[in-house]
Structure 1
Amino acid sequence: MLRLSALYRYPLKSGKGEVLQSIELDKLGLAGDRRWMLVDEASGRFLTQRAEAKMSQLSALWNARGGLTLNTPEQGSIEIALPDDNAELRGVTIWRDTLRVPDAGDEAARFVSDFLGKRTRLVQMPLERARTTQSGFGKDDDQVAFADGYPLLLIGEASRQDLSEKVGRPLEMLRFRPNLVIEGSAAYAEDGWKRIRIGDIEFRVVKPCSRCIMTTVDPQTGERSADREPFATLQKYRTTADGAMFGQNLVNDGNGRLEVGMPVEILE
């Protein structure tokens, strides 16, 4: 039997992940997932572990009021409130999208700037300012917060195990930053799924996930692997015209609650 074996949320894009036992979903995926992002102060361009591997060591915990608790080993913790309706809007760029979103203020900016050693701002994504997903995949009105392209990422546990065997060492699931992990399927079975149901919620499988150098960052230490693994191995046997694929992007059709252990049904 297929079951949901793990749930992960990333309140801050490219920050540390949270391990969850249950979570509500809204129209942008897991409640609180990647609703916050760091941007370069001058350009407004988004920052991720691709260029700033140190971000893997920035803990960001979401709270029920939509705010954020940031913590680093050097600086301790800071509480960031959800920006109100009068907050300054900052122009930001994420991939090809440009938009204006609320800035979290100067105190938050000082904290993240000190952490990265460069002038940085923290911004937040309200539901009403969400981006649309990549054209040509899914539906025209599918939306996403600050995730790269889609609200949710699914990986089969057997797929991680197969890749670990090929690389020759255990690979942490958090290295691949999924939201949903499925247990009980064959390796890469998720490549053939089109629609699934978990609990009362249906999900569309819209596109494979193209992987990058971020997979080489150790989520525990923030250090890059000298041998470029597991990205190097993925490029050898999972490469398509669109890149090295690992995991599937999903869109949820409807809201509801997920809990670890729920059965997973393949609808199509």
Structure 2
Amino acid sequence: MPTVSSLRVYPVKGCKGILIDQGVVTETGFAYDRHWLCVTADSGRFYSQRNEARLALVEQVPLVPHSNGSEPEERQVVCWEWKGIARDEGAEANAWFTEYLGKPSQLVRFLGRPGTNDAAADRSKKRRPAVPPGWGAVPGHEIAFSDRLPFLLTTEASLRGLNEALGKGEAVPMERFRPNIVVSDTGEPFSEDAWEAFTVQGPGHAPCKFRTVVPCDRCKVTTTNQETLKVGKEPLQTLAKIRSLEQLSFIPKERFPSHAVFFGWLCVAMGQGTVKVGDEVLASLRDGPIE
């Protein structure tokens, strides 16, 4: 029986993931996942490991509460194509990131309430839709500061298949792919390509259902060693041989650039609840190509 083998959240976008025993499921992702963002002090444009690889080494941030009785300041930030209002987390957090990155920076927080689906606190009134147009969007789904969708699913079998394809090269750890939910005992590598949805269930809590929406096309962040920051060519070079757009016929080619390669699936939750390590995973299969 497939089971949840590990769970991860990434409170500050781009920073080191945190292994958790259980995650609270909301429509915007696990509670606290990507609810903080490090941005440039002037333009408010976000940092990620694409332009600041050293974020990978940040395990925790020394946040301090505002104690002067005043309301926290808010400012406009830019996360990919989205522009909206976020909350400044204060001078001490900003000074920490400024010193660490060597340039004026700020730490800001999503204005929705972590652990809920309240994105309505966005003063710009521009919510971030989770499912891109054309991917059979599920009404009501939104994200905080995730790249595209609230949840990323990977499997141990697929990582094993990738590392076998690498041959004599150094094995790539799961951390390179920054998943939220990792599932074991799924059988053959990449069998999750056939999943249309999956339900996670375990003792003591109600089942949680997820929909697999789109395979995750991978970027250069996966080539950065998350411990040493050394950059190589893998796993993108091998994924181009075994998981390219040309090889995966179930993916509409017009939706991705021709050089896209894939590992893992981006998902949305079909309700709220709790997911725990050790829970069983029941998958329902897709009838044909994704639409």
Taking structure 1 as the reference length, the TM-score comes to 0.88
Establish whether residue 171 from structure 1 lines up as the match of residue 172 from structure 2: yes
- CA deviation map 1:149-203 (0-9, x unaligned): 0110000111111111222332111110000011111211111211110011000
Tell me the equivalent position of 2:15: 15
Structure 2 partner of 1:103? 88
Corresponding position of 1:236: 241
Q: Aligned runs of 1:37-52 on 2, under 5 Å?
A: 37-52=37-52
SS at match of 2:15: coil
Output the CA distance in 1 between the equivalents of 2:65 and 2:216: 32
CA distance in 2: counterparts of 1:153 and 1:23, whole angstroms: 13
| Mapping for residues 215-254 of structure 1, pairs under 5 Å | 215-225=222-232, 228-240=233-245, 241=253, 242=256, 243-254=260-271
Provide the secondary structure at the position in 1 that maps to 2:63.
Answer: strand
Equivalent-residue separation in structure 1 for 2:34 and 2:65 (angstroms) = 16
Aligned residues: 250
The answer as to whether partners of 2:85 and 2:111 remain within 8 angstroms in 1 is no
Cα separation, 1, equivalents of 2:22 and 2:215: 25
- How far is the alpha carbon of 1:82 from its aligned partner? 8.5
Q: What is the rounded CA distance, in whole Å, between the counterparts of 1:218 and 1:82 in structure 2?
A: 36
Give the Cα separation in 2 of the matches to 1:202 and 1:218.
33
The residue number in structure 2 matching 1:210 is 217
Of the structure 1 ranges 101-110 and 195-204, higher mean CA displacement relative to structure 2 is found in 101-110
- 2:282 aligns with 265
- Unpaired stretches in structure 2, ≥5 consecutive residues: 113-118, 202-206, 246-252, 286-291
Percent of aligned positions with the same letter in both sequences? 33
Per the alignment, residue 108 of structure 2 pairs with: 123
Aligned residues of 2:212 and 2:265 also touching (Cα < 8 A): yes
Contact 1:37–1:124 under 8 Å retained in 2: yes
Q: Match for 1:191: what amino acid? A: D
In structure 2, C-alpha distance between the alignment counterparts of 1:6 and 1:82, rounded to whole Å: 34
Looking at CA atoms only, which structure, 1 or 2, has the larger radius of gyration? 2
Moved more, 163-172 or 147-156: 163-172
Q: Give matches, 1:17-96, under 5 Å.
A: 17-60=17-60, 70=61, 78-81=62-65, 86-96=71-81
Root-mean-square deviation (CA), in Å?
Answer: 1.8
**What residue in structure 2 maps to residue 182 of structure 1?**
183
- The structure where strand makes up a greater share of residues is 1
Q: CA deviation at 1:89?
A: 1.6
Q: Distance in 1 between matches of 2:66 and 2:83?
A: 21
Cα distance in 2, alignment partners of residues 116 and 145 from structure 1 = 23
2:283 and 2:171 map into 1 onto residues whose CA distance is 28
Cα offset, 1:105, TM superposition: 1.7
For 1:45, give the aligned amino acid: R
Distance 1:150 1:165 in 2: 29
Shift of 1:135: 2.2
Q: Which runs of 5+ in 1 are unaligned?
A: 61-69, 71-77
Distance 1:113-1:244 versus aligned 2 partners, 3 A rule? same
Moved over 3 A (4+): 80-85
